[in-house]
Amino acid sequence: MDEKFQALLKRLETVTTKLESMELHGAGAAAPLVAAAAVEDERPSPMVDAFNAFLSGPVAAYVNAASAINMPETLNQAKLVQACFQAQRDMLVLVAKCKKPDAATFQNNVLKATSDLLGQVQSAATSDRRAEDYNHRQAVAEAIPALGWVMVEKTPVPHINDMWEAGAFCQTKILTTYKGKDENHITYAKAVKTIFTDLAAFVKEFHKTGLEWNPKGIDVKDAGKAAAPAPPPLAPPPLAPPALGGPVTSGLKKVTKGEDWDPSKYGKAKPAPVPSVPSTPKAATAAATKPPKCECVGGKKWEIENQVKNSSISIDAEVKQVVYIYKCLDSTITVKGKCNAITLDGCNKVSIVFDTVVAGIELVNCNSCKVMVLGLVQTVTIDKCSGTQVILNKESLGADVVTAKCSETNVVVPGENEGDEYKEFAIAEQFVSKWTGTTWDTNCMAHTG
């Protein structure tokens, strides 16, 4: 009994020492949840161990491959991806130790670190298609919303696979461009695919129907501050008050009591600086001031509004429902199942991936948006938009693409055979109309060099 008591006492002293160390180094109450959880239980979780192996294996290999191709921006994005997966690992430590929290706590606290980094990964891509590493960064930016699997109940693995399909187009272009030319780029392209296929395998093994929280675990709020970003560098200790007569005051002129202060000796006092008037925020960011919304109204209409840099939006729609997406910015939205119609209105840099839509999908007043169909679509309507990219699958090659007052519209279609490179075609913007004597004959403008 004494031996057991001594062992327990020793372990308690160890934990106390660690907690005191955290307090001395500024961790205190602001320490991340994962730090507190790690101190509380030293026994490893098989699930966390598997994710650690994923980080040290495929993710590390991907970063090394990015370093080998001598593209600084691609390497910078790879490091952000690594940090994003590390943040998800920290979150999984909580999942192994805690009971399932309410939706608000999970969304605003536990998921925040991963979500913020995910947005940085997408921002690290480039819109310049002439850039040498356009496909390298775009493949990752398109697929990284796969990390939103933690928000998907019942079917997280298909979500990961769908997101990878969005990035596979650019990844295939890398393989085609550098085949037989530079093996380092081939290695990079394969490494990008591996991190998402291995992530899907991990989720299938440990979280097949959604996050498996610990029903006997502690409350998330009791573990500390939920999955917060790494604390800022420690501030230096406060300076001691200067000693009177010391070096700080040695250069000051002594003024006797009653001596008048003559401003002419020192010149006129300078007027206080006038604060600058803040500039009016751009219209693109105005939506951020309104609360984001993602809900099904009356069981008939999904309303997704004012989402900013949110890449983990995933909804399960039904055939009688319509999906309305309004004023969203730099976000990725996944619509699973068969719905009646989808509309994007006033969106910027939004990517939407959907299964099947009965009536069609419509984009109005949108910029730099991407549409990808996984199932079937009959009509794609694009009105007053610029920079739209539509990615069709083989089942949807017969779809009607209707455009009006649009620019830079491109449609991507699969190759003739399985494994062939996708092909991208520009939709005509200029037309020539000629009077035939009875009617006007309109044709696309032909550019000859």
The CATH code of domain 13-223 reads 1.25.40.330
Q: DSSP labels for 158-211?
A: HHHHHHHHHHHHHHHHHHHHHTTT-HHHHHHHHHHHHHHHHHHHHHHHH-TTS-
3-state secondary structure (DSSP) of residue 102: coil
Q: What pLDDT does 114 receive?
A: 87
Residues of the chain with CATH 2.160.20.70: 284-444
Q: How much is the average pLDDT of 200-205?
A: 94
The pTM is what?
0.54
Integer Cα distance of 382 and 332 in angstroms: 19
Q: How many CB atoms lie within 10 A of CB 76?
A: 14
Q: Which amino acid is it at 36?
A: A
Instruction: Give the fold, CATH level 3, of 284-444.
Output: Pectate Lyase C-like (2.160.20)
Nearest to 51 by CA among 94, 90, 83, 77: 90
Torsion sign (Cα): 93, 95, 96, 98:
positive
- pLDDT tens figures, 373-408: 999 999 999 999 999 999 999 999 999 999 988 988
Length of the chain: 449
At residue 34 the predicted structure's pLDDT band, cuts being 50, 70 and 90, is: very low
- pLDDT tens figures, 106-142: 888 788 888 888 888 988 887 777 888 999 999 999 8
Q: What pLDDT does 436 receive?
A: 87
Residues of the chain with CATH 1.25.40.330: 13-223
Integer Cα distance of 38 and 58 in angstroms: 24
Residues of the chain with pLDDT > 70, as a percent, come to 75
Q: What pLDDT does 10 receive?
A: 55
Integer Cα distance of 158 and 161 in angstroms: 5
Q: DSSP labels for 378-407?
A: SEEEEES-BS-EEE--GGGTT-EEEEES-B
Torsion over CA of 85, 229, 68 and 167, rounded to 10 degrees? Answer: 50
